[in-house]
Amino acid sequence: MSTFSPRVLSGMQPTGNLHLGNYLGAMLNWIRMQETHETLYCVVDLHAITQAVSVWGGPEVLRKAILDVTAAYIACGLDPRKSIIFNQSQVAEHAELAWVFNCVARLGWLDRMTQFKEKAGKDKERASVGLYDYPVLMAADILIYKATHVPVGEDQKQHLELTRDIAQKFNLDFAESIAAQGHGEAFFPITDPVIQGPATRVMSLRDGTKKMSKSDPSDLSRINLTDSADDIAKKIRKAKTDADGLPPEAAGLKGRPEAENLVGIYAALSGTSVDAVLAQFGGGQFSAFKNALADLAVLKLAPIAGEMNRLLADPGYVQGVLKDGSERARAIAQPVMRDVRKIMGFVVS
Ligand code: TYM
């Protein structure tokens, strides 16, 4: 059996602002894991260009978005001394390994990806090849570091299954060469998704059946990490709810997606569980719960925007974090890519 030492990698796209879904679904676990694991967190700028230029906004918008998201990472609590924080495009090995994985992954596997179907919409013929290939690059992001754990929200589960399939097929297809080169039975780990907490799928504040997302045309549907305290409170007070009060137990949330979403958000923000929240608020008025949630959200989230602005006032600092992080990331990625070339039979001089 090959063993892999624990290593964490995850990433977010620099397209628009980060929002509460990114924060509760992924970031809280990122912050937690930097205390216990070797962690790499990347700003996935190569993924940000997979849609039409009119969607991602062009070079100036991208440059700003990369710095904004990096500042958001640090403002949320990632510490550049504990985590390697970098942008994907500065480590060319991600794209190089993605090419090798393009030749490992099968069309049938990619045809099953639901996120491509959602993003490409009806006019699939006009979607970029990159949008289709997006999950293969994501597998390369993870496996170029032989990452064993990937903390993400629920919506990334299918992509992580593809990552496991790619690792497994590579290990099998090249088993002899992997062993001959002294890597034992497996070159890549079979990565575990880390999808944990009471808010792994945060829903729109306007419609509890839709995922909270950057692309929703209604700004009231999401809480951005750049929102002011007033906006955060207003969006929660305006959040859609049904006519009933809060139930005393989790089972009573069934079939009530808006109520379930708000209770999950409260539990995640307060670091407790859905049951604990209902023990406190169950049986009471929804309006009282919403007021408490608005206060809690302002307390936890409003300081992030302030800290982001402070960091962005010194772009040299933020760029320095990315430079240092990219160097450290390359130091891990380059030898792995060199091994891959040798395993595949490329002549390495
Ligand atoms: P992205 O940029 O769409 O989202 C970043 C992270 O936020 C989580 N997330 C949510 N969690 C709960 N509720 C929501 N409404 C919600 N919206 C977003 C996502 O699950 C994700 O964890 N493909 C990835 C980026 C990526 C990546 C990687 C992740 C590229 N390479 C390698 C992990 C490892 C994405 O588009 O995330």
Query: What CATH number is associated with residue 326?
Result: 3.40.50.620
Q: Are residues 261 and 332 in the same domain?
A: no
**Residue 144 pLDDT exceeds 70:** yes
**pLDDT score, position 3:** 85
pTM (predicted TM-score) = 0.97
Positions marked catalytic = 119, 211, 214
Report the pLDDT averaged over residues 246-261. Answer: 95
**Residue 10 pLDDT exceeds 60:** yes
**pLDDT score, position 298:** 98
Closest ligand 1 atom to residue 153 Cα is 20
- CATH number, position 271: 1.10.240.10
Question: Is residue 267 helix, strand or coil?
Answer: helix
Please check whether residue 69 lies inside any domain of the structure: yes
> Domain count of the chain?
2
Digit-coded pLDDT (tens) for 199-221 = 999 999 999 999 999 999 999 99
Which of 30, 128, 138, 130 has the alpha carbon at shortest distance from 88?
138
Report the pLDDT averaged over residues 71-87. Answer: 98
Q: Are residues 141 and 103 in the same domain?
A: yes
**Residue 230 pLDDT exceeds 60:** yes
Which has the higher per-residue pLDDT, 153 or 1? 153
Domain holding 302, by residue range, is: 219-310
Helix H or strand E encompassing 227: none
Q: Are residues 318 and 296 in the same domain?
A: no
Closest ligand 1 atom to residue 202 Cα is 13
Q: Are residues 61 and 157 in the same domain?
A: yes
Please report the sign of the dihedral spanned by the C-alpha atoms of residue 203, residue 208, residue 213, residue 219: negative
Instruction: Read off the DSSP letter of residue 8.
Output: E
At 1, is the pLDDT very low, low, confident or very high (cuts 50, 70, 90)?
low
Which of 74, 125, 127 has the alpha carbon at shortest distance from 311?
74
| Any ligand 1 atom below 6 A from CB of 100 | no
Report the pLDDT averaged over residues 106-134. Answer: 94
Contact of 26 with 75, CB cutoff 8 Å: no
**pLDDT score, position 19:** 98
At 2, is the pLDDT very low, low, confident or very high (cuts 50, 70, 90)?
low
Residue 288, token pair as written in the block: 């009282």
Q: Are residues 67 and 150 in the same domain?
A: yes
Residue 78, token pair as written in the block: 């990632």
Percent of the chain residues past pLDDT 70, beyond the cut: 99
Listed in sequence order, the residues at least 6 apart from 226 whose beta carbon sits closer than 8 Å to its beta carbon are 17, 305, 308
Candidate from 7, 22, 50 with most ligand 1 atoms within 8 A of CB, to mutate: 22
Please check whether residue 132 lies inside any domain of the structure: yes
Q: How far, in Å, is the centroid of ligand 1 from the Cα of 25?
A: 8
Q: Are residues 110 and 236 in the same domain?
A: no
Task: Kindly tell me the burial class for residue 145, based on how many C-beta atoms sit within 10 Å of its own C-beta (0-12, 13-18, 19 or more).
Answer: buried
Report the pLDDT averaged over residues 86-115. Answer: 98
Q: Are residues 185 and 231 in the same domain?
A: no
Q: How far, in Å, is the centroid of ligand 1 from the Cα of 27?
A: 10
**pLDDT score, position 123:** 86
**Residue 184 pLDDT exceeds 90:** yes
Q: Are residues 65 and 120 in the same domain?
A: yes
Please check whether residue 209 lies inside any domain of the structure: no
d(CA 345, CA 349): 12
- Chain mean pLDDT for the chain: 96
At 261, is the pLDDT very low, low, confident or very high (cuts 50, 70, 90)?
very high
Q: Where are the beta strands (DSSP E) in the chain?
A: 7-12, 38-43, 83-87, 149-151, 192-194
